Amino acid sequence: MATNAYFQCISGCDEKHGLDEVIYRCPKCNNLLEVIHNLDELKKKSADEWKETFENRYKSNEFPYSSGVWGKKEWVLPGIKNEDIVSLGEGATHLFKTAKLDELFNQDVYVKLCGNSHTGSFKDLGMTVLVSQVNAMIKSGRPIKAIACASTGDTSAALAAYAASAGIQCVILLPKNKISLAQLIQPVSNNAIVLSLDTDFDGCMNLVQKLTTEKEIYLANSMNSLRIEGQKTVGIEIIQQLNWQVPDWFVIPGGNLGNVSALGNGITLLYELGMINKMPRIALAQAQKANPLYLSYQNNFEEFHPMQAGKTLASAIQIGNPVSVNKAIRALKKFNGVVEQASEEELANAAALADKSGLLADPHTGVALAALIKLKEKNIISKNESVAVISTANGLKFADFKVKYHEDTLEDINIRYQNKPVEIKADISEIQKIVNKKLEKNK
Ligand SMILES: *Cc1c(COP(=O)(O)O)cnc(C)c1O
Ligand SMILES: [Zn+2]
């Protein structure tokens, strides 16, 4: 077993497990596992040397380091051979910052565009790591026939693309009619075995855990902490893009709650290795229709009750029984975190407001932006603090949401920023009349 990184139980049970073991939970207490890195090994390089290494690799032409994830290889999956890595150039995404956005939100805001990635969401960051590890295991003779996941749309798109590119079969369990058309067509196009089930995400999650009890089908959901290792690069990358300055706040939408713990893990490593000297705060944003962690937060996380998630436009976080809740609570406590929720109307308007600055915010980014607005109103986030919002997916995956917003056909939502296409005759004087009227109005 390679000792520079291994799986260990998050409740601290002693046993260590190799990253090439097919294992998702602690055999002793059934809690989740996490990947532990050998800090002494990583400390052999100084903080400045790590910064220089990461900067030299960033967007370079050298495989695999040009990837935002594999540029941090030693912190992610130190033992893997480069030739086993399955990368599609994930990460290294733009950190959006404009004066217009700051003006609209009356705040110093950065938006990390994780959706500008191969399959259009941050799920690529984790999936490259998981599929690379499985690829290495198959090459070394492990009898793994397929990789499987339950998904609210983006995990399956990522798994299908990475598995296809490595020539590995994958099986996708989706809740029928609960994901966008773009999300559905991604795994279909990539030749995955796609099962559309008459249940919700939590039902799919339950079934995929049963499907993968036989070790020949490998589980790719984020309870598999290899995913978290790739996802944790997002916070590291943002801070690198800010020349190693730490924003006061991170705001991140959460559903199954793996990503918030990943964000926390990456920033913790930066801190432990002396590359930053301040810890930010984290705000986790949930849709009001699927808000079990928000409710638990009201009670200082003393109790947590899974719920049946209601239908929300933020369909990728329509989850009532989040698998990674324990990891999320641990991260939020460490980062003096808060949890906020957003109604359907709030998330839709926040996304549309941000779009006026040139963004194309998906509904989950809308949840995060609405949470930012509400936390400012409550004076939890102050006007002179800097905020990094994690935009988790590309708005193009949710074109239907955008169309309905501007048509004003979203149910029970009072829209505030409508921009409706004007249908007129193809006639220059008609056009001039309308254009002049609109320009007059905008003055
Ligand atoms: C998966 C996903 C999330 C939620 O991430 P979790 O790790 O499940 O909390 C948020 N937004 C989008 C677009 C996603 O695909
Ligand atoms: Zn344990």
3-state secondary structure string, 397-429? Answer: HHHHHHHHHHHCCCCCCCCCCCCCCCCCCCCHH
Candidate of 119, 121, 339 to mutate for ligand 1, largest count of ligand atoms within 8 Å of Cβ: 121
327 CA distance to ligand 1 middle (Å): 15
Gap from CA of 225 to ligand 2 centroid (Å)? 14
Instruction: Report the separation in Å between the CA atom of 9 and the middle of ligand 2, taken as the mean of its atom positions.
Output: 5
**Looking at the domain assignment, is residue 414 inside a domain?**
no
Query: Which residues span the domain enclosing 363?
Result: 95-119+228-407
Please name which ligand lies nearest the alpha carbon of 120. 1
Calpha distance 168→193 (Å, rounded): 11
Q: What is the pLDDT of residue 178?
A: 87
Pocket of ligand 1, beta carbon within 6 A: 121, 123, 154, 222, 253-259, 316-317, 362, 364, 392-393
Does residue 425 belong to any structural domain of this protein? no
Domain count, the chain: 1
Task: Give one DSSP letter per residue of 144-177, joined into a string.
Answer: --EEEEE-SSHHHHHHHHHHHHHT-EEEEEEETT
**pTM confidence score:** 0.97
- Which ligand is closest in space to the CA of residue 319? 1
**Within a domain: 437:** no
The answer to the question of residue 83 being in a domain is no
**Any idea what the CATH number is for the domain that residue 261 is in?**
3.40.50.1100
- Phi, psi for residue 125 in degrees, rounded to 5: -60, -40
- CA gap 310, 331 in Å, rounded: 26
Query: Is 127 inside any structural domain?
Result: no
CA-closest candidate to residue 220, choices 175, 256, 250: 256
> What's the 306 CA to ligand 2 centre distance in angstroms?
21
Q: What is the pLDDT along the chain (443 residues), one digit of tens a residue?
A: 557 999 999 999 999 999 999 999 999 999 999 999 999 999 999 999 999 999 999 999 999 999 999 999 999 999 999 999 999 999 999 999 999 999 999 999 999 999 999 999 999 999 999 999 999 999 999 999 999 999 999 999 999 999 999 999 999 999 999 888 998 999 999 999 999 999 999 999 999 999 999 889 999 998 899 999 999 999 999 999 999 999 999 999 999 999 999 999 999 999 999 999 999 999 999 999 999 999 999 999 999 999 999 999 999 999 999 999 999 999 999 999 999 999 999 999 999 999 999 999 999 999 999 999 999 999 999 999 999 999 999 999 999 999 999 999 999 999 999 999 999 999 999 999 999 999 998 77
Nearest atom in ligand 1 to the alpha carbon of residue 254 is 9
Q: Is residue 64 part of a domain?
A: no
Is there a domain that residue 325 lies in?
Answer: yes
Q: How far is the CA of 258 from the centre of ligand 1 (A)?
A: 8
Give the residue carrying structure tokens 């995400």: 201
Q: Which residues pair with 194 in a beta bridge?
A: 172
**Both tokens assigned to 254:** 């959460």
In-domain check, residue 301: yes
